[in-house]
Structure 1
Amino acid sequence: MAVDTANLAALIGSRICHDLISPVGAINNGLELLAMSGAMAGPELELISDSVLNANARIRFFRIAFGAAGDQQMGRAEIVSVLDDISKAGRLKFQWDHSEGCSRSEVRMAFLAALCLETALPYGGMISISCDAGKWTVAGEGRKINVEAPLWGYLDASDTSANLAPAQVQFAMLPVAAQEADRKVGFDHTEEKITVWF
């Protein structure tokens, strides 16, 4: 059975994240042992520890956003745990305003939308994710919104001429994921808020 390009990319994403999560976790365990033994302390250990926690949070987030998604359900506690960890690690804070679990494919689209919003919030801010009657809304608020129009044209297929950098791949992946789920992506923005829905 042939694998299309989008699914192949998702399988690669899953494989990379799966293979990285274990050694990063082992490094974190080793740092905890060093801290308990008193063999190493100070700002150096704290810097390494923060970096490992940040890497772990990003890998967990990326595994959902870029990995293979199925119809399996994800519980609210698991989703909030990922978002809480990634909120601690950077300039963006995430809020999950959905009280129930949902399918991994829905969470994947929400995370891809959040990554799109991240590019428009250069000074950080708050990204809130909610669902009402089956319609998902991912909204970002910050001090200054910076929307690069050629990138955002990918979301609604109004302009797909921009050459995407690796850090912008979410703009191509979100519409594909939405199409697989029989959804359309839309977006709107003001000077202080940007919203993506599907």
Structure 2
Amino acid sequence: MTAITLDALDLSALLCSRVCHDVISPVGAIVNGLEVLEDEKDESMRGFAQDLIKKSARQASARLQFARLAFGAAGSAGAAIDTGDAEQVARGFIHDERTTLNWHAPRVLLPKNQVKLLLNLLVIATTTIPRGGVIDLTLTVEGDKGTFHIASKGINARIPQSVPGLLAGAPESGSVDAHGIQPFYAGLIARAASMSVDLTIEGDIVTILAKPQAE
């Protein structure tokens, strides 16, 4: 595999496409719900529409808050991020009827790239259990360096074929599109944070281990 480099314009465009992809569904549901409220006289249908709008608005807000930390600047250069804030947006992003997030981590300030990597690895963890399941995150901290152990367990757990290459910055296809930009970006963040990332699978459990590189 050959490592590739994206220029700043392509990287920003692909990340914007990713964020839009994440929020377009709940925003579209809000629009549909509002149209039902305008046209529908039946009270049960209006109640259904109101519930849909509330649920979709919460989902859109959660995804935008997550994207702000996982993909955005999240403070000035050199800033640290509270892992408690990371937990809050992670729970909002992952919360659904199929997937449970167990968060085992102290509340500390970590360099922003480490926290951004952690959130991006959680996104990858959700892709390893397409039918849902349980994601267990354990964070250990030594000084200003964190080690992340993420175990995702579910039916048909697997490591998506393209992810290891994208994380390494060397996709098998030789290019990156909007679908693959998130794991590619996670690899960029890992290297910026001087951390290694390894994915393994055993049975129905996929493990993601991110740790500081030896100096």
Shorter-chain-normalised TM-score: which range?
0.7 to 0.9
1:83 aligned residue (90, 104, 116): 90
Q: Please state how far the C-alpha of 1:186 moved relative to its aligned partner.
A: 1.2
1:73 aligned residue (74, 77, 80): 80
Which residue does 1:44 correspond to in 2?
A: 49
- Shift in alpha-carbon separation, 1:103–1:81, aligned structure 2, 3 A: same
Aligned 8 A contact 1:154 1:172 in 2:
yes
Structure 1, residues 141-198: CA drift from partner, whole Å, max 9, x if none? 11221323233233246x5213544233222111111111112221111231111222
Please state whether the residue corresponding to 1:60 is helix, strand or coil: helix
Which residue does 1:197 correspond to in 2?
A: 209
Please state whether the residue corresponding to 1:189 is helix, strand or coil: strand
- 1:128 matched to 2:139: no
Larger mean CA deviation between 71-80 and 181-190 belongs to 71-80
Aligned-pair identity in percent equals 24
Please state whether the residue corresponding to 1:149 is helix, strand or coil: coil
Residue type at the aligned position of 1:160: P
Larger mean CA deviation between 134-143 and 62-71 belongs to 62-71
Q: Please state how far the C-alpha of 1:93 moved relative to its aligned partner.
A: 2.4
- 1:53 matched to 2:58: yes
Aligned 8 A contact 1:120 1:147 in 2:
yes
Please state whether the residue corresponding to 1:184 is helix, strand or coil: strand
2:182 aligned residue (165, 170, 174): 170
Inter-partner Cα distance in structure 1 for 2:124 and 2:200: 12
- Shift in alpha-carbon separation, 1:45–1:55, aligned structure 2, 3 A: same
Larger mean CA deviation between 55-64 and 94-103 belongs to 94-103
Inter-partner Cα distance in structure 2 for 1:6 and 1:175: 18
1:143 aligned residue (145, 151, 155): 155
Unaligned runs of 5+ in 2: 1-6, 38-42, 211-215
- Shift in alpha-carbon separation, 1:103–1:6, aligned structure 2, 3 A: farther
Residue type at the aligned position of 1:60: Q
Larger mean CA deviation between 186-195 and 145-154 belongs to 145-154
Q: Which is strand-richer, 1 or 2?
A: 2
2:171 aligned residue (146, 160, 163): 160
User: Could you state the TM-score of these two structures normalised by the residue count of structure 1?
Assistant: 0.72
1:180 aligned residue (186, 192, 204): 192
Residue type at the aligned position of 2:195: R
Residue type at the aligned position of 1:112: N
Aligned residues: 174
Aligned 8 A contact 2:139 2:148 in 1:
yes
Q: Which is helix-richer, 1 or 2?
A: 1
Structure 1, residues 7-45: CA drift from partner, whole Å, max 9, x if none? 9629x75xx79xx9xxx8xx9xxx9xx9xxxxx851110
- Shift in alpha-carbon separation, 1:113–1:137, aligned structure 2, 3 A: same
Q: Please state how far the C-alpha of 1:135 moved relative to its aligned partner.
A: 1.8
What's the RMSD between the two structures over aligned residues? Answer: 3.1
